[in-house]
Amino acid sequence: MSKSLKLYGSVSVAAAVMLTGAYNFADRNVTPIPETAKTLAPAEGNIDSMLIAAAQASDADADGKFGLGRPALPEEVAAWDVNVMPDGRGLPEGSGDVRTGEELFVENCAVCHGDFAEGVGNWPSLAGGEGTLADEDPVKTVGSYWPYLSTAWDYVHRSMPYGNAQTLNPDEVYAIVAYILYSNYIVEDDFVLSNENFLDVEMPNADGFIVDDRPETEYGRFSKEPCVENCKDEVEITMRAAVLDVTPEEDTAGAEDAAAEQPAQTQSDDTASDEQATADEDAGDDAAPAQEAALDPELVATGEKVFRQCKACHMVGEGAQNRVGPALNGVVGAQMAAVEGFRYSSTLEKMGEEGQVWDEEALAAFLASPRDYVKGTKMGFSGLRKDEDIAAVTEYLKSFSQ
């Protein structure tokens, strides 16, 4: 019992010491509440009125003003006023050519948009898409979609390069925009864009936009009370969902007759296909050995590896389609600029009209230095340096040309 009393006594003494120290600290260091301290009377009404009252009370010494910041200077406003309008307002003086723009684009833009503005990964393409706006999945680029050149200039000047915006001077912006126009076949490779000829550039989709007049023409039609019952005296089918085949059929007999005829037609088509395949096989028996003898399998394999440098723009093989560059199936021995649906440079088109063909000699010269062989070519690749690589790629392309 005596040990417990001693323990409790020690604890009581320690607590008394701590309380005494805390009181002395508070007495010396805590600022006392002034006798005339400002108080905020409860505001009547909602929370907005309470907040307004609090703001007015806290700024009473500032004559009713917040006392924050200062008016922006004219030169500070001008630094942010970078708008460029479709009629040319806001354009600074300057100029830039396609060649310079290509170098600047590769240095500042290609990491996201590709060397030829074709886009990289999920980053958008800036070129191509011509004639796709009516497709289910349109390709919207500067050339295919944007109606005003000012939009491209303003965006590059205001927001690019990504992460380093507004570091390009006006001449550099003019040059980059000129290269984007060239990549979309809107200007030639010797074009120089400036504030003086800016409005002379015609954008392909300039007439593709209309003024939104729906508030005047349509909104009124939907502001009335909707009809949900007995809206028409009679309902009739005026169009048929032929693709989805969901329109109700009133005459099922006709559909059954058509279904009965389908197997016979399919069998006939299959028989014709088999006969054609047999004929092709017989005709190809003699050609196959010649083709195998003409190609060097090892060289073709090497060419396939070298061709990886070309895959960013060209497709070859089954299902090949035009991309930034034309599909290359059958290119060896074919007439120049002859791929259907692809738009070539004017120089290459002229060479094709003159009857020049992509024989092995011409193809080797082009692969070595595209710009030297075809002046004004839109191909941005500088060329293959090694003769063995050129021979390998040529052999590889020959395998899709026989």
Q: What is the pLDDT of residue 197?
A: 97
Helix (H, G, I), strand (E, B) or coil at 36: coil
CA–CA dist 336, 320 (Å, integer): 18
Which of 329, 327, 305, 309 minimizes the C-alpha distance to 398?
A: 329
Q: What is the pLDDT of residue 58?
A: 53
For every residue of 192-249, DSSP letters joined together read: EEETTTGGGPPPTTTTS-----HHHHTGGGGSSPPP-SS--S-----S--TTTT-SPP
Q: What is the pLDDT of residue 225?
A: 79
Q: What is the pLDDT of residue 287?
A: 47
Q: Most distant CA pair in the chain: distance in Å?
A: 122
Q: What is the pLDDT of residue 400?
A: 86
Helix (H, G, I), strand (E, B) or coil at 92: coil
The H-or-E segment that residue 95 falls in is: strand 95-97
The contacts found for 373-376 with CB under 8 angstroms, 24 or more apart, are: 374/345, 374/347, 374/348, 375/347, 376/188, 376/189, 376/190, 376/345, 376/346, 376/347
**For the chain (length 402 residues), average pLDDT per consecutive 10?**
53 65 58 51 52 55 68 86 89 96 94 89 90 91 95 95 93 97 92 96 92 84 80 81 61 50 47 51 49 74 84 83 85 89 85 90 88 78 82 88 69
CA–CA dist 171, 97 (Å, integer): 9
Q: What is the pLDDT of residue 178?
A: 97
Beta bridge partners of 194: 95
Quickly count: other Cβ atoms within 10 Å of residue 221's Cβ: 8
This prediction's pTM: 0.45
Q: What is the pLDDT of residue 109?
A: 94
Name the CATH superfamily housing domain 83-200. Answer: Cytochrome c-like domain (1.10.760.10)
Q: What is the pLDDT of residue 239?
A: 76
Q: What is the pLDDT of residue 230?
A: 85
CA–CA dist 396, 24 (Å, integer): 93
Which of 307, 292, 289, 291 minimizes the C-alpha distance to 391?
A: 307
Quickly count: other Cβ atoms within 10 Å of residue 390's Cβ: 21
Query: Looking at this protein, which amino acid is placed at residue 193?
Result: L
For the chain, domain boundaries = 83-200, 297-398
Quickly count: other Cβ atoms within 10 Å of residue 189's Cβ: 19
Give how far Cα 212 sits from Cα of 144, 217, 218, Å: 21, 9, 10
> Domain 297-398 classified CATH 1.10.760.10?
yes
Q: Residue written as tokens 């050995």? A: 289
Which of 157, 59, 72 minimizes the C-alpha distance to 108?
A: 157
Contacts of 209 (CB under 8 A, 6+ apart): 147
Confirm whether 83-200 and 297-398 share one CATH topology: yes
Give how far Cα 147 sits from Cα of 140, 202, 205, Å: 11, 9, 5
Q: What is the pLDDT of residue 97?
A: 96
Contacts of 375 (CB under 8 A, 6+ apart): 347
